Amino acid sequence: MKKFVNDPKNFVPEMLRGLALANPDTLAYVPAYNLIMRKDAPSQNKVSIIQGSGSGHEPAHVMAVGRGMLDGSCPGDVFAAPPVDYIYEATKLLATDKGVLYIVNNYTGDRLAFDMAKELAEAEGIRVATVMVDDDVAVKDSLYTIGRRGVAGNFFVIKALGAAAERGDDLDSLVALGQRVNSVTRTMGIALSSCTPPSKGVPLFDMADGEMEVGIGIHGEPGRSREAVRTASEIVSMLVEAVASDLPFASGDRVGVMINGLGGTPVSELYLLYGLAHDELEKRGITVGRNYIGEYCTSLEMAGASLTLIKLDDEIETLLAAPAEVPIRVF
C-alpha cells in the first residue's frame, strides 16, 4: 500500500486535523462529527450550506469549505456516507433563521443519511432543504445508486449556491438555482488504475496495465465498458461525445469545462487533456467561457480523469466568477 498513513482507522480524522491546523483563521474542526466548518459560521443573514459524502474524494468536500462555498462538511469514513448524527449535529451547529441547505451527491447511502438528519432537524424547528447532484452521464443505476451518480460537477453546484447564499438568497431560491445548475451540468470519467482504501489495504478492484474503465464511478463502480487504453485524443473525443450529446450541448453554446484529476494523474496530463477538449469543443461550435483544471473530486490515488461541461448563462457565469475562499492555496 503506497500511502502515508498511521492507523488506517485514523486516516480521516488525521487528515481533517491537518486541514484545520493549516487554516487556523478560517476553519474550525469538530472531531466528534468529522466536521470542518467556517469559523465565522453560522451567519444569521444567510442560509448555511452543508455537504457530506464519504471521504477519499478530497478536495471534495472538506476543502471546499469557506466564504462563498460551503459552510460545513461532515464526511464519513473513506467511501462511506456520513452517519446520520454527524449530519444532524452539523445542522444544529450551522442552523440559521434562513435555514440549512444540504447538497447531496446521488448515492443511496448519502440520500438516506441526509433524509434522516433532515427529519431530525426539522423536528427541532430547523428549516432544511436538499439539492441532489447527479451529473454523471456514464450509467443509470449503479453499484451504490438509483439513478445517476453525483461526481465532480457538484463543484459547480457548490460554487453557484455558495455565491448565491452569500448575496442573501433564501432557501427556496437556492433549491431552484441548485436544481437548475445541476440540470445543465454533465460529467464522465475514465480510470487508468484502481485505488486502495487505507483500511482495506488492497486495491478496490483489479485493472491490468493497458486497460481503462470508461465511465468509472468515484468509488470504483463499473462504468460503461472496460477497454484497451486509447490515445489521449481518442479518450477526449469519447468523453466530449458522451457528455455533450447528453444535454445536448449545441453549437453556439458557451460552457465551463472542468478537467478533474482522479487523484493519481499528474497535472501535466490534465492540461494535455484540456487542450484536446478545447479543440474538440471548438469543432462543435461550443465556446469555452471558463475552465477548471486540477483535482476537485478524486478517488484516493486513482489514475484517471473526468470531463465536466456546464452550460453557462449570465447568472451562472456571474455566480461562478464571484469571489470564494477555500483552503487550497497555490501561492
Q: How far is the CB of 248 from a copy of itself (least distance, A)?
A: 24
Instruction: Tell me whether residue 21 or residue 250 sits nearer to a copy of itself (CB atom).
Output: 21
> Can you list the alpha helix ranges (DSSP code H) found in the chain?
11-22, 84-94, 108-123, 154-166, 171-183, 232-244, 267-283, 314-321
Positive or negative, the CA dihedral 66, 72, 77, 81 is: negative
Q: Quick one: which of 49, 52, 58, 309 contacts a copy of itself (CB under 8 A)?
A: 58
Q: Quick one: which of 35, 50, 64, 65 contacts a copy of itself (CB under 8 A)?
A: 64
Judged by CB under 8 A, does residue 43 bind a copy of itself? no
Which position among 98, 186, 219, 311 bears the catalytic label? 219
Q: Is 104 helix (H, G, I), strand (E, B) or coil?
A: strand
The amino acid at 205: F
Which position among 57, 61, 118, 186 bears the catalytic label? 57
Judged by CB under 8 A, does residue 293 bind a copy of itself? yes
Task: Report whether 174 contacts 164 (CB < 8 A).
Answer: yes
Instruction: Tell me whether residue 68 or residue 99 sits nearer to a copy of itself (CB atom).
Output: 68
- Residue 135 CB-half CA count within 13 A: 36
How far apart, in whole angstroms, are the C-alpha atoms of residue 61 and residue 82?
A: 12
Cell of 133: 447532484
Size, binding site for a copy of itself by CB under 8 A: 63
Instruction: Tell me whether residue 117 or residue 131 sits nearer to a copy of itself (CB atom).
Output: 131
Residue identified by cell 484497451 is 228
Q: Quick one: which of 272, 289, 317, 318 contacts a copy of itself (CB under 8 A)?
A: 272
Judged by CB under 8 A, does residue 21 bind a copy of itself? yes
Task: Report whether 327 contacts 65 (CB < 8 A).
Answer: yes
Q: How far is the CB of 43 from a copy of itself (least distance, A)?
A: 20
Contact stretch for a copy of itself (CB under 8 A) within 8-16, 95-103, 106-114, 168-176: 8-16
Contact stretch for a copy of itself (CB under 8 A) within 101-109, 171-179, 247-255, 263-271: 263-271
The amino acid at 7: D
**Helices (H) and strands (E) in the chain — how many of each?**
8, 12
Active site residue 57: yes
Q: Is 188 helix (H, G, I), strand (E, B) or coil?
A: strand
Q: Which residues in 107-136 contact a copy of itself (CB under 8 A)?
A: none
Judged by CB under 8 A, does residue 28 bind a copy of itself? no
What is the secondary structure of 206-260 as a DSSP string?
Answer: ---TTEEEET--TTS---SEEEE---HHHHHHHHHHHHHTTTT--TT-EEEEEEE
Q: Which residues in 161-220 contact a copy of itself (CB under 8 A)?
A: 192-193, 209-210
Active site residue 61: no
Q: Which residues here bind a copy of itself, judged by CB under 8 A?
A: 1-6, 11, 14-19, 21-22, 55-56, 58-59, 63-64, 69, 155, 159, 192-193, 209-210, 229, 231-233, 235, 263-269, 271-276, 278, 291-295, 298, 300-301, 303, 305, 324, 326, 328-331
Supply the residues annotated as catalytic.
57, 219
